[in-house]
Amino acid sequence: MTNTSPATARTSPPFAADEATMLGAWLDFHRATLALKCEGLSVEQLRERACPPSSLSLLGLVRHMAEVERHWFRQVLSGQTLDPSGRYWTEEFPDGDFDLVDGADPAVDTAVWQEEVAFARSAVRGVSLDTVGANRWHDNEVTLRWILVHMIEEYARHNGHADLLRERIDGSTGE
């Protein structure tokens, strides 16, 4: 079964903009990059592991980023009380987002990720970069600015993994 999602549009960030616009544009660029790396692949290809013993897969990256979006924008920034376990991990399987993809449904997991991205976009709309999250992180107050920079870093790092995974799967390379 092939992933038949519509072609992902990716917009390059502006060269000149205010800080909030720039950070949001870079985050959206990296979100779209991960979507592009997954586009057009079969369920099996999305679940394919990098190389033993690594459990890294494109689907695992999508699931992981859904967890990361959920944590920073729902829990830390917005102060929502979430289940102590994530959507994909538990105390028993702390890396379940990566390890437990064999029976996972890429369409469902991609939809979850996109729901978290949509929530994040709405949570930051019109909010000052100096806004402190409703919840602390390891006893530190965290600003929206820090969260956005961290999210860009998180996506950029994992998009490097996605580049290698995609090249291994079908030879596709590129930004």
**CATH code, 91:** 1.20.120.450
For 78, list phi and psi in degrees, rounded to 5: -90, -10
Domain that holds residue 141: 19-170
Does residue 80 belong to any structural domain of this protein? yes
DSSP characters for 24-62?
Answer: HHHHHHHHHHHHHHHTT-BHHHHH--SSTT----HHHHH
Does residue 32 belong to any structural domain of this protein? yes
Does residue 7 belong to any structural domain of this protein? no
Asked if pLDDT for residue 145 goes beyond 90, the answer is: yes
Range 136-164 average pLDDT: 96
Does residue 121 belong to any structural domain of this protein? yes
pLDDT at 84: 78
Does residue 10 belong to any structural domain of this protein? no
Range 127-142 average pLDDT: 94
**Residue 153: C-alpha distances to residues 53, 62, 87 (Å):** 25, 15, 22
Residues sharing a CB contact under 8 Å with residue 25, sequence separation 6 or more, in sequence order:
11, 13, 14, 17
Asked if pLDDT for residue 5 goes beyond 90, the answer is: no
The number of beta carbons lying within 10 Å of the beta carbon of residue 74 is 18
Question: What pLDDT band is residue 1 in, cutting at 50, 70 and 90?
Answer: very low
Q: What is the pTM of this model?
A: 0.93
pLDDT at 3: 40
Does residue 8 belong to any structural domain of this protein? no
pLDDT at 6: 47
Does residue 98 belong to any structural domain of this protein? yes
pLDDT digits (tens, 9 = 90+) for 40-59: 999 999 999 988 889 999 99
Q: How many domains does the chain have?
A: 1
pLDDT at 4: 38
pLDDT digits (tens, 9 = 90+) for 72-125: 999 999 999 988 778 999 889 999 999 999 999 999 999 999 999 999 999 999
Does residue 14 belong to any structural domain of this protein? no
